Structure 1
Amino acid sequence: MLSWPLILLLLVLLVPIDNSASSTAARRFEGVASCAGSTCHGRMEGDGKVVRQDELRLWQEPSSRGGAHSRAYAVLSSPRGRSIAATLGLGAATGAPACLGCHATPGGNRGERFQLSDGVSCESCHGPASGWISSHYAMPATHAGNIAQGLIPLERPAVRAAVCLDCHFGSAKGGQFVTHSMMAAGHPRVSFELDLFSSLQQHWDEDADYARRKGRSDSVRLWAVGQAQAVQRSLGLFARSDFGMRGVFPEFYFYDCHSCHRPIDDGPAQRRTFETNAGRPIPFAAPPFNDENIIMLSAVAQVLAPGQASAFDAASRNFHAAMGKGRAEAVAGASRLDAAAGALGDAMARQGYSADTAFRVVSAIAGKTISPRFTDYAGSAQAVMAVDTLLNALVREGRVTVGAAAGIRADINRAYGAVSGPKTYNPAAFRAALGQAVRSIEALR
């Protein structure tokens, strides 16, 4: 079900990462306590002169969606966590490598103050701190210098997406891939949307000082680059035999769950419970690859990279068609689509955006080309998240007033209601609800 409880379950997953500046093997994870002083990030109020300095409070807030990362390790001891581990024969989830890769910060080189129970800690996202913790706040220090010492430049959309995707989609680094077996044992379905997840975790203020050091962020760019990176991550893992296959069967994690998990009736009056999809030329009744991010990238390409949109859509159709031919053909198709998504991501990361861009992308999502592709729950859930995310971006950036956005909240909520759960999902009803929500946003233009 697409709801805050589901998003909370998704947000308990994040990432230990390889540092792009230098290998983490030489870096040491110092632990949350090393960041927690009242003169650093442990204040009770966000009244610091340069950064808020209450980041620790926000990270561990027990009632906040932003506090989900601090609860990631504790989730392993919950009844659900214990049940999943027992079903899979992992032993205690709190010690299982398959779980700790995303529910903790399992760096091999740990300082004295490191605690595994801290869960997804500061260093899970910002990188092991031994190289920069003693100097990043000093007056001579620069952001570029901190990055050279191992700080992860999360202000860069592609870097942030790669960090988040390691657990919010999966990676090949070990203990960071949610298999179909894990989901069968009770793990929630994994979904990803970079701008939404960033806003839920935001513990920084984008003031003049932030802009001077890191530049201004753009929510549309963040969302678009996140979609491109999600497509690439999915295809890259699928193409690997050690991830894409499980014996003679494909790894069903990559496919649309609800294409198979539908009611079955073998009576003479049974009715088909799925719609065919022109964007996926696969054999009739074959399980489709989960293309929720592919659909979103197709929509944004129409607006931000129209010159590359047709090539991407052709690669997408060819990839789906290859699913009906064989593993080798599917892997080759995945490679071509991966390259097309990468080209789109690079183009979108470089270009500037106007005040009109978010409106145009919202319109494209519910437009004549994209809307017919909303035939399944996962893609539809991603679409309504995207529309809401882009509306919030318009509000944050002063392009739509808070009052105007509140005035159309009922239409957005109806679209959410249409994907409130896979059992009640109806494609035609969803498309109608999404169309009305988008028309309401367009009226604010």
Structure 2
Amino acid sequence: MRRRDVLRGAAAAAVIVPSPAIRSAYAQTAKTLVIGGSVPLTGAAAETGLNVNNGYITAATYLNDVLGGVEIAGEKYRIELKLFDDASDPARATTLIQRQLDDGTDFFLGSFGSNIVLPTAAITERAKKPMVQTGGGADAIFTRGFKYVFGMFPRATRQFASAAALFKTLKPTPQTYSVIYTNDAFSKTAGEGVRLACDAAGLQRLETYELPAKVTDVSSVLASIRSKTPDILVCVMHDQDSLLIARQMVATNTNVKLLFQGLGPQLASFREALGKYSDGLCCSTYWDESVPYKDKFFGDSKKFADYYRSKFTRPIAYHVAGAAACIETYVMAMQAAKSIKPESVRDALAAANFETFYARIKFTPEGDGDALLLGGMIGQVQKGKLETVYPAEARSAEAIYPTPTWDKKA
């Protein structure tokens, strides 16, 4: 983590305000649109939490500083983010959100991790205040009848369809798979999604392994993997656990033809930590700066990425773009509703069909992302870089299969 990013993240944990250089006439006359929330700038989820935080900052800063604010129902507004560090702690996050509700905040952005998004969304739901978020995909968030929470991804059990489709295209065709997941709200349901998608694709499931929420050792699981030797091993868990498993696979020379890790390889820090052994790993990815979408704010993904890099040295990742799209989606919903009343904005979010630089934004009736429009692409690490290998129309490289064994990776 670079110091510049730490400093910017720490500043964001309080309040985002226009910089002195651009306190122009618009800043004096524009109304303020407050959007609250919490983000994990410290603790177990901080690596991705910082990406989410930086995405929120990027969008708000651009809309305020470059575009001079946004127009809603004939009024000019500047966006003020009130984001606080929840330290990856659900109890702290719920306290922070309740405090903001008590202070009169009407609109919220989500934290990272279903274990935080779910309880905080329950609080904003009871208050009938919208939450747009890019950090929680557990089915439980979208199956409890909530009407005010909207997510930038399909629910967890619907997220693996693209990967299973990729597996069917590989040559020679994989025949068997095993899946490992951790005992947390997102990973358990994601693991179920893996089983549903891979079974439907005709792969034979050899074994399913459930690990505790806090993983320290997987030696017994890897011994079973070595004895059964699936063609594909799928790991659905957060990035730190993915890194631990990969390292222990290297140490024990546990090889499969393809290792798919849902979260981890997307992050430059993960690839750097694993070094040459990251090559060949596959993962889900929901955005790349080469995607062809356009919007009326940034213009396109490349311009968004360029602006982000002018503000941050931290490598860009899809959670950055998804977070920025949350704010764009709020603005477009408010413009469609011609209102900043929470109920009207909620109805406009439910009816959303907006194109952003990130994707076309459309939600299911339950609030998760449309499985096709907001579904994932598949990335594979090749020579240290994450290449898109599926679907074909977004492909930047052909998938490598089988991948080299650990001892053959240069």
Q: Which has a greater percent of strand?
A: 2
Q: TM-score under structure 1 normalisation? A: 0.25
Q: TM-score, normalised by structure 2?
A: 0.27
More helix by share: 1
Specify which structure has the bigger relative contact order, considering alpha-carbon pairs within 8 angstroms and separated by 6 or more residues: 2
